[in-house]
Amino acid sequence: MSVGVPSPKSKAQRSQPSRAPRAPARATRLDRIIHERIRLAIVSALAANETQSFNELKHLLQTTDGNLSVHARKLEEAGYVSCKKSFEKRIPKTEYQLTAEGRRAFERYLSHLEALIDAARGR
């Protein structure tokens, strides 16, 4: 073997994936349903208030009817939010509430974020 010439890699070595640093395992457990910005805002608002009407959420989040509706439906399909439709003086009213499962999911999400922050700060 001559000096300065790297030895050829075997076929097994060439097929090995590179060993890039991996994100902390807890980062991979972030709830993808909640992690989206508008959905996180909806869940946060509902965690702080027992119920919120569609119009209250729309005003609070400064979003459009369509955008709020799509994200609220996604949370509802996941079982994180319940939706109650009624009429108030012949005007339709939609109210949202965080379900018990939604509250547990939000708590898990916050715990994961706290763990990531702690890891980043070296605690």
Domain annotation covers residue 93 = yes
Q: What is the pLDDT of residues 11-28, one digit of tens each?
A: 555 555 444 444 455 455
Q: What global pTM score does this model have? A: 0.75
Q: What is the pLDDT of residues 60-81, one digit of tens each?
A: 999 999 999 999 999 999 999 9
User: Which residues does 26 contact at the CB level (< 8 Å), separation at least 6?
Assistant: 112, 115, 116, 119
Domain annotation covers residue 20 = no
Residue at 24: amino acid letter: P
Domain annotation covers residue 19 = no
CATH number of the domain encompassing residue 37: 1.10.10.10
Domain annotation covers residue 98 = yes
H helices then E strands: how many in the chain?
A: 6, 3
Q: How many domains does the chain have?
A: 1
Domain annotation covers residue 123 = no
Place of tokens 């119009």: 55
CB neighbour class for 25 (10 Å; exposed up to 12, middle 13-18, buried from 19): exposed
The span from the first CA to the last CA of the chain, in angstroms, equals: 48
Domain annotation covers residue 6 = no
Task: Locate all alpha helices (DSSP H) within the chain, ordered by sequence.
Answer: 11-14, 32-35, 37-48, 54-61, 65-77, 100-120
- Give the Cα separation of 60 and 54 in Å (integer): 10
Domain annotation covers residue 8 = no
Q: What is the pLDDT of residues 84-105, one digit of tens each?
A: 999 989 999 999 999 999 999 9
Domain annotation covers residue 33 = yes
Beta strands in the chain (DSSP E): 51-53, 81-88, 91-98
Instruction: Output the pLDDT for position 25.
Output: 52
Domain span at residue 34 reads 29-118
